[in-house]
Amino acid sequence: MQDELTPEVPLNEITLTCNPHYRYSNRKNAEELELRLLADTMKEFISYAVGCMFGRYSLDKPGLILANQGETIEDYWKNVRSYQNLPTANCSLPTDSIFPPDADNVIPILDGDWFTDDISERFRKFLRVTFGDEHYEENLKFIEVALGKDIRKYFLKDFYSDHVRRYKKRPIYWLFSSTKGSFNALIYMRRYRSDTVSVVLNYLREFRIKLTTEKNHLEAVSISASASPGEKTKALKEIESIRKMIEELDSYEREILYPLATEQLEIDLDDGVKVNYQKFGPALRTIPGLDTKEE
């Protein structure tokens, strides 16, 4: 058969997703393809980390953990304990998990260290748990170089768009977001409950309190005799920025989030993401093309 077959196989015909020549249809040179594959692999790792944050996945047990409507954090612990051959009584109490999921199904995504449990901090902890402390800084830098930005900026600017794209405009994580994005909070739709919006509202209110406290501090700096002219100018600029953020949060709460929280909305996942996502209107980040027919 030497005249009919050849042992040589083009790289773009080797059907492995870890092969950039196949995955990206050989549209760029080898170096560019490798860089793109590296970036996408890091994004997939981050996506898995977020899944562990919500209890969809777990470092304590392989496969899906919470994947059905109505499942709770108690179901998560019961599932993990059963796998570890531990007693399943008192499942509301965490096991010796190396990375426990978020308890209230709401994870803030903010520009700054306003919450100790925001998504950036949770990811840093996940990285320490999965790869250890010894090379933590090196590993984080490796991921950020692959992404082309620091991890907080990635979560703020790109994560949700990547997630929506990965799930073909039918996301399983939903992003509550104020008009200009000063406040963002992510939830897992399969753990949604009728009081979830109220939990998001509580985060927003706590964030506004923190902003007000910071604004008061900056106002003191702006009139302090010991502050330099540069420090005063910087403080005044930040005061104006925070003032606009507080106004944005006030409007988001008054016009959108609080009325929605009082409705105690129920959802039926059998109706699909397209139907359920739109029930929340402007409370959630707009997804262009959500109305298009599912493939």
Q: What is the sign of the dihedral through the CA atoms of 73, 123, 282 and 291?
A: negative
Percent of the chain with pLDDT over 90: 72
pTM above 0.95, yes or no: no
**Which tens digits make up the pLDDT trace of 89-98?**
565 555 567 8
Contact of 60 with 95, CB cutoff 8 Å: yes
Mean pLDDT of 62-71: 90
For residue 69, the model assigns a pLDDT of 87
- Joined together, the tokens standing for residue 179 give 């008009």
What tokens does 160 get? 């949700």
| Rounded Cα–Cα distance for residues 159 and 212 (Å) | 28
pLDDT at residue 81 tops 70: yes
The DSSP symbol for 256 reads: I
pLDDT of residue 109: 97
pLDDT one-digit tens code per residue, 154-179: 999 999 999 999 999 999 999 999 99
